[in-house]
Chain A
Amino acid sequence: MGPIEGLLYGLSIALTFQHVVAALAGALIGTIMGLVPGIGPVTGAAILLPLTYVFDPLTGMIIIAGMFYGIMYGGSTTSILLNIPGDSGAVVSAFEGYPLSRQGRAGPALGITAIASFVGGTGSVLVVTMVAAPVAKAAIVFGSAEYFALTLGGLIVLSRLMGGSLAGSFIPLGLGLFCGVIGEDLITGASRFSGGISEVAQGVSVVALAVGLFGLAEITRLIIGDEPLPRVGSLKWKQLIPSKNDTRNSVGSWGRGGIIGFLLGLLPGPSISLATFISYKIESVFGRDRGKFGKGAVSGLAGPEAANNAASTSSMIPLLSLGLPFSATLAVLLVAMQVHGIQPGPGLVDSRPDLFWGLLASLIIGNLMLLLLNINMIRVWVAFLKVPNWILLPTVITLCFAGVYSFRNSWFDLFVASALGIVGFFFVRYGYQLVPILLGALLGPEVEKHMRQGLMSADGDISYFVTSPIAAGIWSVVVVIVVGVPITQHFLKKRKRIVGISAASS
């Protein structure tokens, strides 16, 4: 099935009444969750995950896809209205969006954001549709050596790019890999580190991990961190739909932002924030209203918003084609797929074409729903922002525990979520990254499977993992990034210090 036939097939599945309602519900719930101040897309997606259990896999995935976009849009809304970015990708939106909102132009700012998200996201989905299936087909030739290199190498690169010291990068990864070891051995069926307890032998639930590390830890930080919780002031605007002038100023920025976002979204690490910052810089040079930058330039909002959604969508190529999530949000998306028994990767397009194409088509529908929803409901979102935190935060905590328990009806999951909520809180407090823990636990079993299968097929020859050209290429890239990044940082720091000293002496 070619990309066009695949997309049409996907649309025929995704455009049924049930799936359209699912996309609408996902976008609606996602936007509401994204509007909760301080909760980003990862936390929001982790908390909302349990709501999809009762649906069939495709409907569940369509809801999750709608939520995915909805949460991001909600994050941008708080960025524009409150100057509180919902996530790192929405930081740039505040630079121009908040001044616009202070000028009483919150309506057009949110309208431009909604259209930019639609343009960037939909354009990116169309390219993903063309690229994802061929990449997945090419990856069918991959053996254990290539998969081992991709999964372990990917984890190492991602942990290193997240920042921090060497130990700070790899301790969370090691802990995640260790979480993945607990439970039944995939090959022999032996129960590991379970103490003979059947619930523990089932392994650490990915839902408990995601909700504990991102949901509970973040709520804990919001409640006991000594920072004032965000509040909403009164907001007014004269019109909701962007003016002709606003649209003229945005069109080029949408295109530029979309292309930058798509390309950068393919890279591992913080590619979404990087894409929005680069897009903002580019707009400050090429934007039609570049003279207004910092005071509410429409192009400075439109470009980064398009880049944000385009990058989020293109980052799905490695997830759908290779089964590798390159960001925290995608890791939660992978958890959602696994909850529904779907393992993305090269086999998905052939084994479950309905899911593969249905999901891609649903991304377009999710984007469209979001556009329609947000143009019409901006006033509702602003009203929602006024719900007090003392109602929202206890509700989110209650939802977290209800969701964790309902996944497997296991007491062990509740214990794990509680424990990881506290561990995650302290890790965040000390500046450690949580994403490597989740990714390590998610992909650890894959690393083990390919490691052991590779060793068995190569009769114990360790060189098997580096002799194939693809595996050797992947490991070379890993070494270049892991060694190259600290060396570059060291020289940049040194240069900065020299410049600082010479500036001080002159």
Chain B
Amino acid sequence: MSNAVQKDIPSYPNSKKQNVVAVGNNHLPVISLLTIVLAGGAIISIRSNYPFGTLDAPGPGFYPLFVSIFLVVCGIIGLIEWATARNRHDKTISYEFSLNKISFPVFIILIALLGPVVYFAGFLISTIPAAMITAVLVRKKITVMTIVSMIVMPIIIFIAFDVLLGIPLP
């Protein structure tokens, strides 16, 4: 990468360079393409499953079709905006913030799994380890205090919802 190009890429004063990972080079075409694929799939599904109706009696497929077409148009506009960007800086991803290389994959997987696991394994079984992992990621070390706190805290929340508020948790 030339120096000229490097100058165009924004820098982040708080970033520790060795811990920063890039997710991709370009978000706009990726998000635009994903939008088009999602909306395209929805249009196919609408055409085969939900009647469009007529203008004076719109069916259940009428409005979703408009929303899907709107999304396809937005996706195409996104691609055009990216393709017509004037210089490399405009095309290069601009992060709102950078990522920590260790916490990033661990916590993304944790959040992705936590919802399903809460339901299938139960609230306490899932949230106690999740809280411990989160605490370790934030504190960057594991202590007896961390373990005890992260066992007690979900139990208190469970009791508060179940007993005090009368809301059963799985």
Contact = CB atoms under 8 A, between A and B. Distances in A.
Interface of A: 50-51, 53-54, 165-168, 170-171, 174-175, 177-178, 181, 185, 187-188, 190, 192-193, 216, 220-221, 223-229, 388-391, 393-395, 397-399, 401-402, 404-406, 409, 411, 414-419, 421-422, 425-426, 428-432, 444, 447-448, 451-452, 455-456, 458-460, 462
Given A167-B78, A223-B103, A226-B98, A422 B153 contact: no
Interface in B7-61: 12, 14-16, 19-20, 23, 27-28, 31-32, 35, 38-39, 42, 45, 50, 54-60
A157 to B, nearest CB: 16
A505 B162 CA distance: 71
Contacts, number: 220
A430 to B, nearest CB: 4
Given A221-B97, A431-B96, A452-B58, 14 more contacts: A171-B78, A178-B64, A216-B111, A226-B98, A227-B14, A227-B97, A388-B139, A390-B146, A394-B130, A394-B135, A418-B111, A419-B115, A430-B31, A444-B67
A216 B139 CA distance: 19
A356 B96 CA distance: 40
B134 A171 contact: no
B56 A181 contact: no
Counting chain B residues whose Cβ lies within 8 A of the other chain, the interface size class is 35 or more
Complex A-B, nearest 3 residue pairs according to Cβ-Cβ distance, in ascending order: A418-B115, A460-B55, A167-B78
Contacts of A165: 28, 78, 81
A402 B130 CA distance: 13
B118 A405 contact: yes
A448 B77 CA distance: 24
Contacts of B131: 394-395, 397-398
A229 B167 contact: no
A190 B50 contact: yes
Contact of B70 (A174, A221, A229): A174
A171 B153 contact: no
A266 B122 CA distance: 45
Contact of A51 (B77, B158, B165): B165
B67 A181 contact: yes
Contacts of B107: 220, 223-224
